[in-house]
């Protein structure tokens, strides 16, 4: 077999090429040279002296971009490291990820931003961008030095995992972030309302005997942040939207011209609260899995553009972290390696979303939300690409995942659609173990 890893110039021929910008999938061939997409032709075969990778009708798309990954390094290397998290990303078809600030130390200082970027350059398997904290230590009290964080390389700001409860702090944060042209990504859950909750508040929380968090805990938080974004004119992005009411607030805000964007996770789009019946700790996430009506509203919002993009909220936790009483288990599930297959199976496979729309929500849209490069299938762009067999069936298991943690509710469940590998600046990284 030819080792594509070391090829500097080659054709990928006979692929179904997905262009998220034009919204078309057409058969053609792509010339990759010196890490760039040099040429795209709509010929199935190419006459050339260069090596040719016969794609055999596989789907070739821009590499996925995840704007919500918890890499856990520094501080929680037992859960994930930059090396394993980026290997998981590449295996899932991602060529760029943006990592969250809730590490230890928190990414609230330029030296930590620089440290993460250096570690990613040394041991990363995909591009890594860094989100810095909004407030020092994620404590919601003192805002960080955004100018210095930006100079060090931060691309956005977030206290993800926590809501900034002090409205004056959030107002100032938006004002200063706006001056630096940085988006604030808000984790919208009012902690006074979610207090010690384990799942969504509904019939199911009563039935299962778990304390619930009402949808209002998210909607109140979203409403306040939208109002503050409107007041300040600064850019706001709502992380992991999970309720129909939150969708409604975002839709109305966009209509009035508020600069607000939003993401939804693969788990909130495909899994519902009733699945907690077996008390699987891997289904415990913040915000919690909601009801079927919420899922329907999220899907409608993906289709009409109210929700701008899909982001994983890949949140690794060790088996030891999770193998405790339900209320002691930390919230979060991994997602990088299963997101495409999960969404392809549950949404594209069931007629909820077109394949090209799913690709757009995982490529050009997240890039647009944070103003990142990539996500485009065009000549002159870096050859950051993903090769996918949308029909291959496979089953995620501990043994075929690269993440250091296995806290996924999808282990042992057959999915349709498998990432074959990515080209990162033209270099092949095969995902199949
Ligand atoms: O479920 C979650 N886990 N939601 C978050 O917002 C944080 C994350 C984590 O860091 O584990
Ligand atoms: Zn998160």
Tens digits of residue pLDDT in 232-247: 999 999 999 999 999 9
Q: Tell me which residue has its CA closest to atom 4 in ligand 1.
A: 286
pTM: predicted TM-score of the whole model, two decimal places: 0.98
User: Does a structural domain hold residue 48?
Assistant: yes
User: Does a structural domain hold residue 84?
Assistant: yes
CB under 8 Å to 168, separation ≥6 — which residues? none
Give the domain range for residue 140.
63-370
User: According to the model, what pLDDT value does residue 7 have?
Assistant: 74
Would the pLDDT of 338 be above 70?
yes
User: According to the model, what pLDDT value does residue 3 have?
Assistant: 62
275 and 283 in contact (C-beta within 8 Å)?
Answer: yes
Which of 318, 347, 370 is the C-terminal boundary of a domain? Answer: 370
Domain co-membership, 55 together with 143:
no
DSSP 164-220: ---HHHHHHHHHHHHHTTPEEEE----HHHHTT--EESSHHHHHHT--EE-HHHHHH
- Residues 403 and 80: their CA atoms lie apart, in Å, by 7
Distance 227 CA to ligand 2 centre (A): 23
Distance 195 CA to ligand 2 centre (A): 18
Peptide bond into 105 cis (omega under 30): yes
Closest ligand (CA of 158): 2
Domain co-membership, 26 together with 73:
no
DSSP 22-55: TTEEEEEEEEEETTEEEEEES-SS---SS-EEE-
User: According to the model, what pLDDT value does residue 424 have?
Assistant: 96
Average pLDDT of the residues in 359-369: 98
User: Does a structural domain hold residue 196?
Assistant: yes
Share of the chain above pLDDT 90, in %: 97
Domain co-membership, 40 together with 67:
no
Would the pLDDT of 330 be above 70?
yes
User: According to the model, what pLDDT value does residue 2 have?
Assistant: 54
The total number of structural domains in the chain stands at 2
Would the pLDDT of 1 be above 50?
no
Catalytic, out of 66, 109, 272, 313 = 313
Pocket of ligand 1 (CB under 6 A): 70, 102, 160-161, 187, 285-286, 313, 315, 330-332
Length of the chain: 433
Domain co-membership, 107 together with 234:
yes
Would the pLDDT of 102 be above 50?
yes
Domain co-membership, 50 together with 108:
no
Domain co-membership, 397 together with 252:
no
Average pLDDT of the residues in 7-34: 96
User: Does a structural domain hold residue 375?
Assistant: no
Which of 322, 341, 370 is the C-terminal boundary of a domain? Answer: 370
Lookup: tokens for 75: 């501080």
Domain co-membership, 346 together with 390:
no
Domain co-membership, 346 together with 403:
no
What is the CATH classification number for the domain harbouring 47?
2.30.40.10
Torsion over CA: 305, 306, 309, 314 (sign): negative
Q: Give per-residue pLDDT as tens, 39-59.
A: 999 999 999 999 999 999 999
Q: Tell me which residue has its CA closest to atom 6 in ligand 1.
A: 161
Would the pLDDT of 265 be above 70?
yes
Domain co-membership, 310 together with 388:
no
Q: Tell me which residue has its CA closest to atom 2 in ligand 1.
A: 332
Would the pLDDT of 72 be above 60?
yes
Would the pLDDT of 5 be above 90?
no
User: Does a structural domain hold residue 2?
Assistant: no
Would the pLDDT of 184 be above 80?
yes
Closest ligand (CA of 185): 2
Would the pLDDT of 84 be above 60?
yes
Domain co-membership, 107 together with 136:
yes
| Residues, Cβ < 5 Å to ion ligand 2 | 160, 313
At 431, the pLDDT band (50, 70, 90 cuts) reads: confident
User: According to the model, what pLDDT value does residue 4 have?
Assistant: 62
Average pLDDT of the residues in 248-268: 98
Computed over every residue of the chain, the mean pLDDT equals 97
User: Does a structural domain hold residue 426?
Assistant: yes
User: Does a structural domain hold residue 4?
Assistant: no
295 and 268 in contact (C-beta within 8 Å)?
Answer: yes
* Closest among 193, 335, 225, 359 to 270, alpha carbons compared: 335
Domain co-membership, 99 together with 30:
no
Which of 370, 400, 420 is the C-terminal boundary of a domain? Answer: 370
Q: Tell me which residue has its CA closest to atom 5 in ligand 1.
A: 161
341 and 418 in contact (C-beta within 8 Å)?
Answer: yes
Average pLDDT of the residues in 255-280: 98
Q: Give per-residue pLDDT as tens, 119-169.
A: 999 999 999 999 999 999 999 999 999 999 999 999 999 999 999 999 999
CB under 8 Å to 329, separation ≥6 — which residues? 281, 284, 317, 321, 322
What is the CATH classification number for the domain harbouring 309?
3.20.20.140
User: Does a structural domain hold residue 339?
Assistant: yes
Domain co-membership, 245 together with 296:
yes
108 is catalytic: no
């Amino acid at each position: 077999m030819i080792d594509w890893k070391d090829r500097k110039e080659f054709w990928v021929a006979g692929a179904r090429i997905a262009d998220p910008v034009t919204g078309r999938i057409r058969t053609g061939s792509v010339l990759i040279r010196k890490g760039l997409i040099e040429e795209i032709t709509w010929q199935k075969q190419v006459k050339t002296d260069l090596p040719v990778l016969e794609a055999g009708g596989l789907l070739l798309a821009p590499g996925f971009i995840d704007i919500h990954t918890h890499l856990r390094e520094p501080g929680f290397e037992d859960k994930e490291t930059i090396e394993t998290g980026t290997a998981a990303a590449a295996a899932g078809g991602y060529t760029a990820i943006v990592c969250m600030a809730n590490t230890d130390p928190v990414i609230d200082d330029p030296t930590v931003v620089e440290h993460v970027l250096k570690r990613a350059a040394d041991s990363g398997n995909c591009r890594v961008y860094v989100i810095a904290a909004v407030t020092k230590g994620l404590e919601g009290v003192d805002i960080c030095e955004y100018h210095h964080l930006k100079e060090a390389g931060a691309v956005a700001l977030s206290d993800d995992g926590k809501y900034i409860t002090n409205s004056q702090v959030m107002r100032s944060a938006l004002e200063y972030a706006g001056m630096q042209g940085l988006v604030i990504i808000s984790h919208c859950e009012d902690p006074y309302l979610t207090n010690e909750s384990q799942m969504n508040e509904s019939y199911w929380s009563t039935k299962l005997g778990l304390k619930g968090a009402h949808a209002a805990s998210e909607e109140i938080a979203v409403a306040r942040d939208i109002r503050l974004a409107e007041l300040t004119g600064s850019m706001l992005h709502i992380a992991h939207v999970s309720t129909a009411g939150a969708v409604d607030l975002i839709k109305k805000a966009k209509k009035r011209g508020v600069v607000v964007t939003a993401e939804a996770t693969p788990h909130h789009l495909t899994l519902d609260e009733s699945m907690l019946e077996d008390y699987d700790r891997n289904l415990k996430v913040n915000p919690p899995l909601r009801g079927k009506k919420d899922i329907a509203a999220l899907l409608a919002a993906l289709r009409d553009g109210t929700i701008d993009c899909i982001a994983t909220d890949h949140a690794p936790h060790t088996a030891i972290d999770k193998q405790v009483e339900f209320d002691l288990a930390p919230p979060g599930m991994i997602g990088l390696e299963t997101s495409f297959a999960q969404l392809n199976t549950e949404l594209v496979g069931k007629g909820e979303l077109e394949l090209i729309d799913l690709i757009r929500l995982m490529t050009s849209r997240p890039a647009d939300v944070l103003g990142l490069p990539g996500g485009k299938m065009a000549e002159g762009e870096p050859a950051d690409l993903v090769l996918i067999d949308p029909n291959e069936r496979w089953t995620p298991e501990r043994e075929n995942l690269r993440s250091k943690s296995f806290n996924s509710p999808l282990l042992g469940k057959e999915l349709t659609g498998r990432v074959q590998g990515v080209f990162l600046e033209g270099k092949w990284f095969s995902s199949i173990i």
